[in-house]
C-alpha cells in the first residue's frame, strides 16, 4: 500500500508543479514550432520543387543535379537530430549569437526538417496524374501555368498532409533540443523534472506536448479534407 501511495505521489503530486513555468515553456514550444514550420515550409517547398524539376529533366545536367541534391538531402535526413544539434553549435553561435534558448534550436531544426519535408513535396508532385499535365500542355498552357494552376492545386492535399507530418515530427525535435537548453517543454521536463526527480513535471510536460501534437494533427486533417476535391 505504501509503495502504491509513493508511486502515486511521484507522478500525481501537482503541488510540485510551477504552473507559470509550464505556461511559459508551452508558449516557447508553440512559438518555436510555428516559426520553424514557417521557414521549413518555404525551404522545403523550394528544395522539393527543385528535386521534382531536376528529376523530370531529360538533360544530362539535370540528372547530375538531381543526384547531387538528392545525396545532400539524404545525408541531412540521415543524421540524428541530437547529433546535428550538437555538431552545429559553432554555426549556431555564429548565426544566432548563442547556443542556448529558443532561437538556438532554429538552425538544427531547419536543416533537419527541411530535407524531410522536401522529399514529401517531391513525392506529392510526382503523384499528380501525368494525363492531367499532358492535357494542360495540349491546351497551350505555359510551364508556369501548368505548375501554379495544375500541379500545385492537384497536389495540395498531399502537400498539407506532408507539412502536418513534418510539424508533428518537429515538435518531438523541440523536446529533444530542450535537453541542451533550447527552452520549451523539453527543457522543463529535463531540468525541472528529470534532474530533480520531479516526475509530475515530466508527466505534465508530456501531456502538454501530446495535446499540441493532437491539435496540429487535427488542424492538418481538417484542412486536407477541405481542400481535397476527390
Query: Given a cut of 70, is residue 5 above it in pLDDT?
Result: no
Domain assignment of residue 169, yes or no: yes
Is residue 214 in some structural domain?
A: yes
CATH of the domain at 135: 1.10.3720.10
What is the pTM for the complete model shown?
Answer: 0.88
Confidence of residue 3 (pLDDT cuts 50, 70, 90): low
Residue 16 domain-assigned (yes or no): no
Q: Does residue 3 form part of some domain?
A: no
Whether the per-residue pLDDT at 149 is higher than 90: the answer is no
Give yes or no for residue 163 having a pLDDT over 60: yes
Q: What is the CA radius of gyration of the chain?
A: 22
* Any domain includes 5: no
pLDDT of residue 34 exceeding 50: yes
Residue 4 lies in a domain: no
Domain range for 179 is 21-227
- Separation of alpha carbons 13 and 141, rounded Å: 65
Q: Could you tell me if residue 80 is inside a domain?
A: yes
Least confident range from 55-59, 187-191, 217-221: namely 55-59
**Domain tally for the chain?**
1
What pLDDT, on the 0 to 100 scale, is given for residue 1? Answer: 45
3 versus 201: the higher-pLDDT residue is 201
pLDDT > 50? residue 6: yes
Classify residue 174: in a domain, yes or no. yes
Q: Which of 21-25, 48-52, 99-103, 123-127 has the lowest mean pLDDT?
A: 99-103
Q: pLDDT grade, residue 229 (50/70/90)?
A: confident
Dist CA 38 CA 209 (whole Å): 19
- Confidence tier at 132 by pLDDT (50, 70, 90): confident
Q: What is the DSSP letter of 14?
A: G
If one counts every other C-beta atom within 10 angstroms of the C-beta of residue 182, the result is 28
Alpha-carbon distance values, 208 to 100, 205, 230 (Å): 22, 5, 35
Amino acid at each position: 500500500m505504501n509503495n502504491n501511495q509513493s508511486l502515486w505521489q511521484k507522478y500525481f503530486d501537482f503541488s510540485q508543479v510551477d504552473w507559470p513555468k509550464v505556461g511559459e515553456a508551452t508558449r516557447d514550444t508553440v512559438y518555436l514550432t510555428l516559426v520553424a514550420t514557417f521557414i521549413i515550409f518555404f525551404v522545403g517547398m523550394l528544395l522539393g520543387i527543385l528535386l521534382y524539376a531536376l528529376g523530370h529533366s531529360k538533360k544530362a545536367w539535370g540528372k547530375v543535379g538531381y543526384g547531387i541534391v538528392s545525396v545532400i538531402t539524404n545525408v541531412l535526413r540521415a543524421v540524428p537530430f541530437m547529433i546535428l544539434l550538437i555538431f552545429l553549435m559553432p554555426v549556431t553561435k555564429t548565426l544566432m549569437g548563442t547556443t542556448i534558448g529558443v532561437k538556438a534550436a532554429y538552425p538544427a531544426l531547419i536543416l533537419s526538417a527541411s530535407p524531410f519535408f522536401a522529399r514529401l513535396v517531391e513525392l506529392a508532385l510526382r503523384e499528380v496524374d501525368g494525363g492531367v499535365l499532358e492535357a494542360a500542355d495540349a491546351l497551350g498552357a505555359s510551364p508556369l501555368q501548368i505548375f501554379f494552376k495544375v500541379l500545385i492545386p492537384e497536389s495540395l492535399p498531399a502537400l498539407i498532409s506532408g507539412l502536418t507530418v513534418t510539424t508533428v515530427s518537429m515538435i518531438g525535435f523541440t523536446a529533444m533540443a530542450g535537453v541542451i537548453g533550447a527552452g520549451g517543454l523539453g527543457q522543463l521536463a529535463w531540468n525541472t523534472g528529470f534532474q530533480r526527480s520531479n516526475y509530475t513535471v515530466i508527466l505534465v510536460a508530456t501531456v502538454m506536448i501530446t495535446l499540441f501534437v493532437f491539435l496540429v494533427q487535427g488542424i492538418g486533417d481538417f484542412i486536407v479534407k477541405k481542400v481535397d476535391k476527390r
